[in-house]
DNA sequence: GTATCTGCAAATGCTTTGCACACCC
DNA sequence: GGGTGTGCAAAGCATTTGCAGATAC
């Protein structure tokens, strides 16, 4: 999925947001965001901690959990519940998309279906409501797991 | 949401399915199903164990987990991951539906759009996957909250 | 300087598993 | 009677929390 911003632009937004809240920045916080940006996929907290360990002196798993919670709350990343293992995270600065999740191996596929998007708008209208956002997950048995 | 079957009919299906697999029935297994049928809502494993305790001699929490896993796999019930706490279960014998949720007042509207259902099947197929189930929530500002 | 952030280890919450006994077919 | 099912207690994971020391502003 293509990106909407450069990593540097996102980090600038992060720094500004931290400053405005009177918080303090840290290398670890930026690293978590950078790792998610570079990977482009959905990573588990464990995987993120591993990646940072490679790139740098590292971040403890508990810090990664704390940082992820903060970054998600601030809208820099978004979490996704899987059926296999725990939550996974991805950078929020991507084009809108929905998810297909394999119930057996946990693989995640991103997709957009314009027709469904249009129908969702219609459904909301039919009930006199204004559509703000949506969350759609298709749970499947993927190609690999079927063979 | 209205029910499609009586409890007795579901229990009959369960007994048949158990027989065909060469398994053995148990009071606890039927109780789990009965509790979910009667409640009509989403219950946690803990709540289910509590309910059975009241109605009967009870079932241990670990058995409830085992029974829920079996019943879900066999399609008698369906699990739902919540944001806080663990999984919750509901009887599968309800009409399928999705949810429209108002971000302001929290109102929940149930709906089904056959066209979207069809497209979801198509999307999964396009990726070579077999659709098992889906979860779709439309977040809106409802009619009342807009005026 | 001081409030926030970090790492560690222990605690927590939900779920699963090993084992001995109970029960259904 | 033999194979399933059950309850109990212990183990397993993912996640959270308390605390002492490190660090950013």
Residues A16 and A70 occupy one common structural domain: yes
Structural domain total, chain A: 2
Say if residues B104 and B144 touch (Cβ distance below 8 Å): no
Domain boundary among A91, A107, A126: A91
Lowest mean pLDDT among A122-126, B72-76, B142-146: B142-146
Instruction: Supply the pLDDT for residue B141.
Output: 87
Residue A25 CB lies within 7 Å of the nucleic strand D: yes
Residues B84 and B132 occupy one common structural domain: no
Residues A21 and A72 occupy one common structural domain: yes
Radius of gyration of chain A (CA): 17
Token digits for A66?
């704390």
Residues A86 and A37 occupy one common structural domain: yes
For residues A28 and B129, give the distance between their C-alpha atoms in angstroms, rounded to a whole number: 38
DSSP state for residue A80 in the 8-state scheme: E
CATH of the domain at A120: 3.30.1490.190
Token digits for A80?
């996704």
**Confidence category of residue A64, pLDDT binned at 50, 70, 90:** very high
| In a domain? residue A2 | no
**Per-range mean pLDDT, top range of A1-10, A53-62, A71-80, B76-85:** A71-80
Token digits for B49?
């164990």
Share of chain A above pLDDT 70, in %: 97
DSSP state for residue B24 in the 8-state scheme: -
CA A31 to C1' D25, whole Å: 20
CATH of the domain at B47: 1.10.10.10
Q: Between residues A30 and A146, which one has the greater pLDDT?
A: A30
Q: Between residues A125 and B57, which one has the greater pLDDT?
A: A125
* Mean pLDDT, chain A, whole residue set: 91
Query: What residue of B is the nearest CA neighbor of A140?
Result: B131
Is the pLDDT confidence value at B30 over 90? yes
Instruction: Supply the pLDDT for residue A5.
Output: 86
- Owning domain of residue B134: 98-146
DSSP state for residue A75 in the 8-state scheme: T
SS3 B121: helix
The C-alpha angle A139, A142, A146, rounded to 5 degrees, equals 125
**pLDDT tens profile B66-117:** 999 999 999 999 887 776 778 999 998 667 888 887 877 767 788 999 999 9
Is the pLDDT confidence value at B33 over 80? yes
Contact A135 B136 (CB under 8 A): yes
- Residue B9: which residues within 8 A CB-CB, separation 6 or more? none
Contact B134 A139 (CB under 8 A): yes
Residues A102 and A119 occupy one common structural domain: yes
A54 CA: distance to closest CA in chain B (Å): 32
Is the pLDDT confidence value at A71 over 90? yes
Decide the pairing of beta strands B108-111 and B98-102. Answer: antiparallel
Of A115, A37, A3, whose CA–CA distance to B115 is shortest?
A: A115
**Confidence category of residue B3, pLDDT binned at 50, 70, 90:** low
SS3 A12: helix
Q: Between residues A138 and A4, which one has the greater pLDDT?
A: A138
The residues of A between 95 and 134 with beta carbon within 7 Å of nucleic strand D are: none
Residues B31 and B58 occupy one common structural domain: yes
Residues of A in contact with B111 (CB under 8 A): 123, 127
How far lies B107's CA from each of A134, B102, B141, in Å?
15, 5, 10
Residues B108 and B139 occupy one common structural domain: yes
Report the sign of the C-alpha dihedral through residues A33, A35, A32, A106, in that order. positive
Token digits for A113?
């279906």
For residues B71 and B93, give the distance between their C-alpha atoms in angstroms, rounded to a whole number: 12
Is the pLDDT confidence value at B131 over 70? yes
**Confidence category of residue A2, pLDDT binned at 50, 70, 90:** low
Residues B16 and B44 occupy one common structural domain: yes
Q: Between residues A120 and A146, which one has the greater pLDDT?
A: A120
Helices A27-39 & A7-20, crossing angle to 10 degrees? Answer: 150
DSSP state for residue B77 in the 8-state scheme: E
CA A3 to C1' C12, whole Å: 38
Residues B13 and B58 occupy one common structural domain: yes
Residues B116 and B84 occupy one common structural domain: no
Half-sphere exposure of A92 (CA within 13 A, CB side): 14
Instruction: Supply the pLDDT for residue B78.
Output: 87
């Amino acid at each position: 999925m293509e990106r909407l911003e450069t990593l540097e632009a996102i980090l600038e937004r992060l720094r500004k947001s931290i400053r405005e809240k009177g918080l303090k920045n840290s290398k670890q916080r930026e690293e978590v965001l950078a790792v998610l940006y570079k990977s482009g996929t959905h990573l588990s907290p464990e995987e993120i901690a591993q990646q940072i360990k490679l790139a740098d002196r590292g971040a403890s798993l508990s810090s990664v959990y704390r940082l992820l919670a903060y970054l998600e709350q601030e809208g820099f990343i978004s979490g996704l519940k899987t059926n296999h293992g725990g939550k996974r995270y991805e950078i929020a600065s991507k084009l809108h998309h929905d998810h297909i999740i394999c119930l057996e191996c946990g693989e995640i596929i991103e997709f957009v279906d314009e027709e469904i998007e249009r129908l969702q708008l219609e459904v909301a209208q039919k009930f006199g409501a204004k559509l703000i956002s949506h969350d759609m997950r298709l749970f499947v048995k993927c190609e690999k797991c079927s063979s």
